[in-house]
A and B are shown apart, each in its own frame.
Chain A
Amino acid sequence: MTKAWTSNHLSRRSFGKLAGAAGLAFGASPGRFTAALADAPPDSAAIIMGKASGLTVHNAALGVMETPLAMLRKHDHTPKDILFNRLHFPHEGDAAWYATTAVPERPDWSIRIDGLVQRPRTVTLDDLAKMEQVKRVSVLQCAGNGRSYYAGKEKVAGGQWKNGGMGNVEWEGVPLRPFLESQKVLPGDGAHWLTAEGWDQPATPEGSDFAKSYHLADHALDNAILALKMNGEPIPATNGGPVRLIIPGYYGNMNVKFVTTLLFESQQSPSAFQSVGYRMPLSPVEPGQFEANDYTIYNSRPTYGHQIKSVIFSPLPEDKPKSGAIEITGVAFNDGTAKITSVEASADGGKTWQSADIKPPESPWAWYHWTAKAQLTAGNNVLMCRATDALGRTQPMDGLARWNPRGYEWNGVDRVEITA
């Protein structure tokens, strides 16, 4: 199959360069603001114990780091030492225990089920471990993954993520709905939301606690688990152990780490992480017309399921491929509610497209591996890929159409510029 789409806009990476030349990007304006880092840049391995060296650090104090694609592509299941990381509060003092990929030593962990219920209950880690366990292989992806590419329209505040804020992870734990049923907490008629809260705490008393709420009618909860294992071992502390709520196909922040509390509630949580942060506007917005403080629960929605997305793993610019016949490889995924039916790849900036061979995924929420044949010409080549699913959902040719002031849910057609 060959399709012709015109590509008359700059690639997002060219945009980035232009933005830098205009002094928009940090460090691109000599003499003004070049020596930002007083100390040597922190290495990922020194920030979270057990992490590999060489991850791209976005914030050391919050343990925020992403995986360079050259590391990510080596594994089908992303190992804990290279999986991207994102904590919401400083991993210091009382919270230092979760700044490690080691398994937390928290045998007395328990979860309180409370709220609009007749019989609140406390369930221990031992109780959970004795229950039926199921596996869920799912892509875990930061809602901000790809944020830096929105700079093609206007740079947005926050960590400038490329595509490495994702991984393909095997989780194992107790299915959520049967678990809640079995506890017989007897929710009242007014209970419409389930709120999950984690152990982590803000640094100041005025800060919002981390909490996420899900409508009880949300079908995604049918597949949710209270996970006790990640990639076959107890969940590493930094990944949310000993218990993490995993909703397969949902963006990372929806998968609450260090779960201590499940609340049946009439309303969603007032936590800023639910009501203001990690949200997408309900209709398209433009820079300057809708700012990051304009979000309400009425004009926006939480970052629920992954937007359909595909990413090129090979070749990357550092592979320095030669001209001639090549294979373009990568992964694709969505929220798991429909099969990905097509991945198309282009080596000429979108003039012609080849249908890629897609390998069946391990689960509806796992990533699909795909391969497409292409010809590289000597000089510059623009590689692109685009996934489509059985519901007809596909990636926008211009991801900037989904620009939003918090820079979430980037899923524009992926572009990699290669010199052969």
Chain B
Amino acid sequence: MRLTRLVPIVLLTLTSLSLTTNAERVKFDLPAGPGRDLVYGHCQTCHDLQSVVDSAGIRKGAWDAVLDNMKGFGLRITEDQRARILDYLGSYMGPNPPPTDGSSETVTAAEVSGKDVFNNTCIACHMEDGKGKPGEFPPLAGNTDLFLSPEFPALVVLNGIEGPLSVEGHDFNNVMPSFDFLSDSEIAAVLTYVRSNWGNDTLPGASTDHLTSDDIKAIRSKPMTATAVHESRAKLLK
């Protein structure tokens, strides 16, 4: 119950670190196909993709029911996204999956829309207009971390981040999984979109010198743990 949770939170921030550290999120590869990125982006907010993998083979009608149920458990997607996710699951995770040739739904850099990437992926947690959710998911609107360094947001997208954060005076302590399934051009585009909108272009340190897909490729070549990304943030803040 939400109200009664408020009291325990104070205590657990003192005790949780001594009790346990989280295992890094486990990554599952799903067969390449249209809509896969939506599954990656939305279904891991609450559970990892073993739930999808272990259910492979069920009928499209059963997947349809799963999506309805997941809505009740907190899945937030548009009707269009729902239809695309259902097409993917019903086909690639259905009783007779089509053969995949290993190629994904690659789009050329010129076609990538940062807004689309945000709405298909990031919005699941960071919410409409990047407003975030108090206590769980930090806002991207007005978030000065966006310009902590030229590379920092790309590190977060590629590797995830895990550990307590304070953003605009609000505390967060959650795990963001890696979104490295996004292509270099998709990450470059969504970072440009997020850094340029919701007033972020007027934040201290804001720059219009955006990362290119080549920049993302270089950052991707040096993987880090989500905890290490959190540590690098602490260093940059000093």
List residues of chain A with CB under 8 Å of any chain B CB.
19, 23-26, 29, 31-33, 35-39, 41-42, 46-47, 49, 57-62, 89-94, 96-97, 99-100, 102, 104-106, 108-110, 112, 154-160, 197, 199, 201-209, 211, 237, 260-261, 272, 276-277, 287-288, 291-294, 405
Known: A92-B175, A199-B5. A39 touches B95 (CB 8 A): no
For the complex of A and B, list the 4 residue pairs with the smallest distance between their C-beta atoms, beginning with the closest: A207-B74, A93-B174, A272-B72, A293-B68
Q: Which of B16-24, B105-113, B195-203, B210-218 contacts A (4 or more CB under 8 A)?
A: B16-24
By the criterion CB–CB under 8 Å, are A204 and B76 in contact?
A: yes
Chain A residue numbers with a CB within 8 Å of B31 are: 32-33
Q: A292–B62 contact, CB under 8 A?
A: yes
Q: Are A158 and B23 CB-contacts (below 8 A) given A109-B8, A293-B65, A293-B69?
A: no
Stretch at the interface among B52-60, B141-149, B151-159, B228-236: B52-60
Closest CB in chain B relative to A361 CB, distance in Å: 33
18 further contact pairs, Cβ within 8 A, besides A89-B46, A96-B19, A97-B16:
A24-B95, A26-B57, A32-B99, A32-B100, A33-B31, A47-B23, A59-B51, A60-B23, A90-B47, A99-B22, A100-B20, A108-B7, A109-B8, A155-B55, A158-B55, A260-B4, A277-B69, A292-B68
**Is B62's CB under 8 angstroms from A405's CB?**
yes
A-B residue pairs in contact (CB < 8 Å), sample of 25? A24-B95, A25-B56, A29-B97, A36-B28, A38-B29, A60-B50, A90-B46, A94-B136, A96-B21, A99-B20, A108-B8, A155-B57, A156-B55, A157-B65, A158-B54, A159-B54, A197-B1, A204-B125, A204-B136, A206-B74, A206-B75, A207-B72, A261-B1, A272-B69, A292-B65
Closest residue of A by beta carbon distance from B175: A92
Q: Tell me whether A94 and B9 are in contact in the complex, defined as CB-CB below 8 angstroms, given that A208-B72, A292-B66 are known contacts.
A: yes
Distance to closest chain B CB from A113 (angstroms): 11
Q: Which residues of B contact A100 (CB under 8 A)?
A: 19-20
Q: Contact between B57 and A202 (Cβ–Cβ < 8 Å)?
A: no
Within the assembled complex, what's the spacing in Å between the Cα atoms of A291 and B13? Answer: 41
- Interchain nearest-CB distance for A309 vs B (Å): 23
Given known A-B contacts A36-B53, A203-B136, A60 and B29 have beta carbons under 8 A apart: no
CB distance from B79 to the nearest CB of A (A): 15
Contacts of A24 in B (CB 8 A): 57, 95
Q: Are B73's CB and A291's CB within 8 A?
A: no
| CB of B2 closer than 8 Å to a CB of A | yes
Q: Do B4 and A261 touch across chains, with their CB atoms under 8 A apart?
A: yes
Q: Which residues of A contact B46 (CB under 8 A)?
A: 61-62, 89-90, 202-204, 207
Chain A at the B interface: mostly helix, strand, loop or mixed? loop
Question: Which residues B1-45 have CB closer than 8 A to chain A?
Answer: 1-2, 4-5, 7-9, 11-13, 15-16, 19-23, 25-31, 44-45
- Cα A248 to Cα B124 in complex, Å, equals 39
The answer to whether A92 and B22 touch across the interface, beta carbons within 8 angstroms, is: yes
Among B11, B44, B63, the residue within 8 A (CB) of A61 is B44
A117, B118: Cα distance in complex, Å = 47
Contact present for A57 and B5 (CB under 8 Å) = no
Instruction: Give CA–CA (A250, B98) in the complex, Å.
Output: 42
What is the chain B residue whose CB lies nearest that of A41?
Answer: B26
Is the pair A19, B57 in contact by a Cβ cutoff of 8 Å? yes
Q: Is the CB of A59 within 8 A of B74?
A: no
| Given A26-B57, A157-B62: A202 touches B19 (CB 8 Å cut-off) | no
Determine whether B169 belongs to the interface, using a CB cutoff of 8 Å to chain A: no
B58–A156 contact, CB under 8 A?
yes
Chain B residue contacts of A31, Cβ below 8 A: 99
Please give the distance in Å from A387's CB to the nearest CB on chain B: 29
> Residue of B at shortest CB range from A263?
B1
- A237 in complex: contacting residue of B19, B55, B72, B97, CB < 8 Å: B19
Q: Are B172 and A93 in contact, CB atoms less than 8 angstroms apart?
A: yes
B74 and A60 contact, CB distance less than 8 A: no
Instruction: Judge whether B73 and A208 touch: CB under 8 Å.
Output: yes
CA distance A205 to B128 in the complex (A): 13
Could you tell me the distance between the alpha carbons of A237 and B19 in the complex, rounded to whole angstroms? 10
B207: CB under 8 A from chain A? no
Closest Cβ of chain B to A19, distance in Å, is: 7
Q: Which residue of B lies closest to A88 (CB)?
A: B73
B160-214 at interface with A (beta carbon < 8 Å): 162, 172-175
**Minimum C-beta distance from A57 to chain B (A):** 7
Given the interface contacts A59-B51, A90-B46, A202-B46, does A291 sit within 8 Å of B27 by beta carbon?
A: no
Chain B residues, CB < 8 A from A19: 57
Cβ distance B97 to chain A, nearest Cβ, rounded Å: 6
Given A97-B20, A207-B46: A155 touches B72 (CB 8 Å cut-off): no
Q: Is the CB of B174 within 8 A of A158?
A: no
Closest to A63 in B: B23
Does the CB pair B69–A276 fall under 8 Å?
yes
Q: Are A203 and B74 in contact (CB under 8 A)?
A: yes
B15 A208 Cβ-Cβ under 8 A: no
Tell me which of A59, A97, A160 contacts B48 (CB under 8 A): A59
CB within 8 Å for A91 and B22 given contacts A36-B28, A106-B11, A293-B69: yes
